Structure 1
Amino acid sequence: MTPLEARPWCAGAVVYAGRSRTTLAHEGFGWAVRYASYDAGTDRGVELPPAARVPARPDTLFDLASLTKLFTAVVAVRCVERGALDLDGRVASYAPEFTAAARHGITLRQLLTHTSGLRPELPLYACAGEAEREAMLRTEEPVGEVGAARGYSDLNLLILQRVLERVTGRPLDALVRDLVTGPLGMDDTRFNPPADLLPRIAATEDQRRPWAKLDRGMLRGVVHDENAHAMGGVAGHAGLFSTAGDLARLCRALLGGGAYEGRRVLAASSVELMLTAPGLGFEVDQPWFMGELAGRGAAGHTGFTGTSLVVDRATDSFVVLLANTVHPRRRPPVNTPRAAVATALARAVGAGAGPDGR
């Protein structure tokens, strides 16, 4: 076992578990910032002096990584509700410049269910500029059968982002703010967080080759995902920062059929569509990160930086786990802690409990 493998799963984490109207737990553990750098020679993180470390607190902001996809999906479904998009409409109908998607008849539903056949990612960060990135994305051919087996891909949400921006004439960050985070009062959830929030933001990776795709040093307050970074920090697949408390508001809106504290962001029928297998943007009944919450229609998602979210309508409960598992350096993902937290919630609320706890 190497020293890096011997370290804890994450430097720090925040857990928020709750129900529609009650909070069961909301606590921070460990360090939001523990390391100054990563030493490849010793395979260890270079720890900051204790006085310089930053503890993980309930209001710590984390890089959400792929939890961003959930927000892009909610924006898309809101546009469907307003008649601006058709779930079964083809990408070519809205953004014909995506010639490969047009040639294969890829639909918005296939993007949201990851059945487009597209590969997981592209090295957009290696392109010389925006024009080259867009050309790569627009001409990328599916590698699998379109409309067949699910194959998770960041490209689905990047293409969906372009469709949303084309149809609305507005950038994704504005759409997320106006259609999701603003109405729900998620004041700490944003792309490219401002400097005044930095003291509350957890660090991620000492990003250097060969383990990373770019040489950027220790990251804090800037997006970890290299492709999202290349796109200015605003991307359909990654880029949002948030707190567990803010994400609890989203979870409670979903448990409430699309509304929270009198503010509606989705129709109840849309929530049903998003959270029912195969899900739209959300993954459904995945034991590898949902633990014992899986099996009754629980829905959620994970993020590469160590984040996860699970909503279980069967028990009127949810759990948010935000962690910086890539601090000071990325490593193969270990999902046991995610599943364990979800299982602890499942056992606490009981498989058949309703909103009143009985």
Structure 2
Amino acid sequence: EPLIQRQGEKNVLVQLPGITNPDRAIDLIGKTAQLKFHLVDENVSQEDIEQGNIPFGDMVLYKKVQNDAGHVEEKIPYVVKKEAMLTGEYLVDAEVRISNQFNQPYVWIKFDSAGSKLFDQITAQNIGERFAIVLDKNVYSAPVIRERIPGGEAQISGDFTMEEARDLAIVLRAGSLPAPVNILENRTVGPSLGKISINKGFKSAVIGIILVAIFILFYYRLSGLLADTALLINFILILGFMNFLGATLTLPGIAGLILIVGMSVDANVLIFERVREELRFGRTPLNALEAGYEKAMSTIMDANITTFIAAIVLFQFGTGPIKGFAVTLSIGILASLFTAIFVTRTVFLTVYAGKSNKSISI
């Protein structure tokens, strides 16, 4: 959740919470990527390169091969046309994707409408030629143009690690309009204040959960105990899924968790009240449970689906804290639906199956 603010006429303040390596962040912010696409001259041999016999209008660029420690082991030379066929000014997006064939990260790029037309013409006129993707005079890849490529999409692959691919995508997005950056001041602030806020937020969430759990247990008895168990499972699912996605639990995220407590309990309250109504009509516990779940289902789905749509909108158009809240809320809604509809119902039906005369503590 970075914070970017304008200061004065020429200065920009960038705050990066949670960054453990400020030097890497400064290096990344200060980079200006010059992305260019050059045709490779296949008529120049390795011997010509070594002897310096480079045709007029060509130049030699290198692809750097690094080892696991990040040191350059080898430089592979490429003779390319000096005039770039396409530049990064047409670039509109760059993101990291995973190759289905080799399960390796690569950088997917997309051009604007003008760049798409130009890229379409270039690939149509140079089928069979190699097209070098050059970033700051370093060749990242030189694939062969197999066919005409409409749509203005391409990929940069170069045996990247995930971190290298992410850095490259960030630099490319910023490099569509290169501008030098001078670091005027660098401050590193300790996490003590944020830690206090997080602890207070966590404490409020725990207190809220305990109070709700006690009320549900008192009001619905053994059924309330099952609802409290479902609530605990709900939280385990939320935290586990957030850890799987690599999401960060922020203060807005904790607020989303507290909201999910109410929504999760609300679903069980609707079901339990329906079951109570059916019991008052003289139904057996098993029949009352089945009817209660069926009649409460539409209300539960309506409430959760509309809230889930709102969470998606918040994530799509929100920034920073709003996105943190939306992530927790959307994951919590899915977990709440699962525990309320599947977990509690399975336990109830398992306990009361074939026991039509047994009373139910609700």
| Band the TM-score falls in, shorter-chain normalisation | under 0.3
Specify the structure having the higher radius of gyration (Cα). Answer: 2
TM-score under structure 1 length normalisation? 0.20
TM-score under structure 2 length normalisation? 0.20
